[in-house]
């Protein structure tokens, strides 16, 4: 179950020469001196090509439109295309987008080093679009690093300064960190003991999701595995049983289940995954048991392992025989697994979404039976998909349909309503008998997937080619999230 709502744009050469929008001026704005100095220099020629000595025109409609194209590429999750354009951007603009892309690639230290020096300049410019991108990326960086104090301040500043510029989806996305992080602002950082690779036997819960065996201060329990969750969660009864101290203050959140939930904060002194990997001072948020209970299946969620714990696991492979293979990020003998080339497709973290750059879905018909299809991994053929290992529904969006309209000629169409806590209108849809999922050099067929013919009306859902949930992942022999290399890979049967 994901934690938030789940436009390809052609870029002309003008986008490569545009100055960053936060360095532009309009008749109603005055740029700070530092941003104005380049704009005051006369242009050598309006026809001059980008390169050494070329003058950047700022304050023009063409410059604004060019940077808007770059922002559209970013909103469209076209991270690989943006990366290929960085070397041709002006220095400040390149620094800005390198920092944002480092955030998406989970290169937290690099992202912070690039973006922190730009905060004052971007804020003073009055460019709300760039300020929102920058502040949101930094807030996510601090949160993923486990710097609770900085993350709390960053999310508060994001909400305070940009509340009027945030969409309803963006407000929902930051509701939990804005409200919950102040409870943990003074918490110590989590530490992880080195651990050798190991394999766990796991179970599927009644929701069809993976439950991992864990120990909360030496007491055995089963916690839900959710790679999209930014926080660890623990039920009140379990926290009480373990003798954990809860924060006196609490907050009420709405976006976790669609209903108001009161949460406290706690720190788990010792938390062990499968009796092998030990985490110390793990921050978790405490919910009332009834708020995370599923009456139809009589399933009580004891806890949820979020991003911080999962990143400590390093590489996580979930197999069809109900085992989880773990290659910890911090190993006793890291040389044993060092030097291996990364396998699979790159994945990115964009807010509460895991975005995977899958290869061309049209694998050649003569693909080898072992699933390896090097041609399908060709650069430039990638399509961006959300992988939601905590969600139950797989579907392909109207973007996929627009590229494969001919595949559905003569097939029956029906109205389909996407399930979820937020009601959505029914849209016409087909069923794809087979969708070829290509990660790196491996292609695996996935069957019977809903394909929407119209946008759903939510940018978070419509800006990708599809969402791969548990019903698709269960058709694989195994799939891997490697947080050390930021690669997603699959194994065919």
The pLDDT tens digits for 328-347 are: 988 877 665 555 677 899 99
Residue 46 confidence class, pLDDT cut points 50, 70, 90: very low
* CA atoms within 13 A of residue 60's CA, in its CB half-sphere: 15
CA atoms 256, 260, 264, 268: torsion sign: negative
Domains of the chain: 13-30+56-180 (1.25.40.10), 191-327 (2.40.70.10), 342-491 (2.40.70)
Please report the pLDDT score of residue 462 as a whole number. 87
163 has a pLDDT exceeding 70 = yes
Phi, psi of 37 (to 5 degrees): -60, -45
CB 116 within 8 A of CB 138: yes
Q: Which of 158-172, 276-290, 351-365, 478-492 has the lowest mean pLDDT?
A: 351-365
30 has a pLDDT exceeding 50 = no
The Cα–Cα gap between 27 and 483 comes to 46
376 has a pLDDT exceeding 60 = no
The pair of structure tokens assigned to 279 is 């985490």
Q: Which residue has the higher pLDDT, 378 or 167?
A: 167
Please report the pLDDT score of residue 4 as a whole number. 41
* CA atoms within 13 A of residue 173's CA, in its CB half-sphere: 21
Q: Which of 77-91, 163-177, 451-465 has the lowest mean pLDDT?
A: 451-465
User: Within the chain, how many helices (H) and strands (E) appear?
Assistant: 14, 24
Please give the average per-residue pLDDT across 386-404, as a whole number: 90
16 has a pLDDT exceeding 80 = no
Please report the pLDDT score of residue 27 as a whole number. 30
Residue 483 confidence class, pLDDT cut points 50, 70, 90: very high
Q: For 192-235, write each residue's pLDDT tens digit.
A: 999 999 999 998 888 888 899 999 988 899 999 887 788 999 99
The Cα–Cα gap between 471 and 325 comes to 20
The Cα–Cα gap between 390 and 216 comes to 22
Contacts of residue 166, defined as CB under 8 A and 6 or more positions apart, other chains included, come to 132, 159, 174
Q: How many residues does the chain have?
A: 493
Closest CA to 437 of 408, 461, 471, 462: 471
**Quick check: pTM over 0.85?**
no
CA atoms 137, 140, 146, 147: torsion sign: positive
Contacts of residue 328, defined as CB under 8 A and 6 or more positions apart, other chains included, come to 192, 194, 195, 196, 197, 277, 312, 313, 314
Please report the pLDDT score of residue 449 as a whole number. 95
Q: For 2-13, write each residue's pLDDT tens digit.
A: 444 333 322 333
19 has a pLDDT exceeding 70 = no
């Amino acid at each position: 179950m994901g934690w938030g709502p789940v436009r390809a744009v052609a870029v002309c050469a003008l986008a490569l020469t545009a100055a960053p929008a936060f360095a532009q001026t309009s008749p109603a704005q005055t740029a700070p001196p530092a941003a104005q100095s380049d704009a005051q220099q006369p242009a050598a020629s309006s026809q001059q090509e980008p390169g050494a000595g070329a003058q950047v025109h700022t304050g023009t409609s063409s410059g604004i439109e060019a940077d808007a194209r770059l922002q559209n590429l970013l909103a469209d999750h076209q991270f690989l295309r943006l990366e290929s354009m960085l070397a041709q951007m002006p220095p400040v603009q390149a620094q800005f987008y390198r920092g944002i892309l480092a955030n998406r690639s989970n290169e937290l230290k690099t992202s912070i080093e690039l973006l922190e020096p730009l905060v004052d300049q971007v804020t003073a410019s009055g460019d709300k679009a760039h300020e929102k991108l920058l502040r949101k990326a930094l807030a996510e960086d601090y949160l993923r690093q486990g710097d609770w104090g900085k993350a709390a301040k960053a999310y508060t500043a994001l909400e305070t300064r940009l509340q009027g510029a945030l969409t309803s989806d963006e407000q929902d996305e930051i509701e939990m960190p804005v409200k919950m992080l102040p409870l943990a602002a003074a918490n110590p950082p989590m530490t992880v003991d080195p651990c050798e690779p190991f394999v766990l036997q796991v179970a599927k819960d009644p929701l069809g999701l993976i439950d991992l065996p864990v120990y909360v201060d030496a007491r055995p329990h089963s916690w839900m595995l959710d790679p999209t969750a930014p926080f660890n969660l623990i039920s009140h009864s379990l926290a009480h049983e373990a003798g954990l101290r809860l924060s006196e203050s609490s907050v009420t959140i709405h976006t976790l289940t669609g209903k108001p939930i009161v949460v406290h904060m706690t720190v788990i002194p010792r938390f062990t995954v499968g009796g092998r990997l030990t985490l110390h001072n793990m921050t978790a948020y405490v919910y009332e048991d009834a708020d995370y209970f599923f009456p139809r299946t009589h399933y009580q969620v004891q806890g949820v392992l979020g991003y911080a714990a999962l990143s400590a696991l390093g590489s996580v492979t979930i197999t069809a025989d109900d085992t989880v293979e773990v290659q910890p990020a911090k190993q006793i003998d890291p040389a044993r697994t060092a030097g291996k080339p990364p396998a699979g497709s790159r994945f990115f973290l964009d807010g509460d979404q895991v975005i995977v750059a899958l290869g061309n879905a049209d694998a050649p018909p003569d693909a080898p039976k072992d699933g390896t299809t090097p041609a399908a991994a060709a650069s430039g053929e990638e399509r961006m998909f959300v992988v939601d290992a905590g969600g139950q529904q797989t579907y392909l969006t109207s973007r996929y349909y627009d590229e494969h309209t001919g595949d559905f000629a003569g097939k029956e169409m029906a109205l389909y309503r996407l399930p979820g806590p937020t009601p959505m209108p029914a849209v016409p849809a087909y069923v794809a008998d087979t969708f070829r999922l290509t990660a790196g050099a491996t292609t695996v067929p996935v069957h019977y997937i809903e394909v929407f013919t119209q946008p759903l009306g939510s940018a978070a859902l419509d800006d990708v080619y599809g969402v791969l949930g548990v019903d698709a992942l269960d058709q694989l022999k195994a799939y891997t999230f490697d947080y050390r290399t930021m690669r997603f890979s699959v194994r065919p049967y």
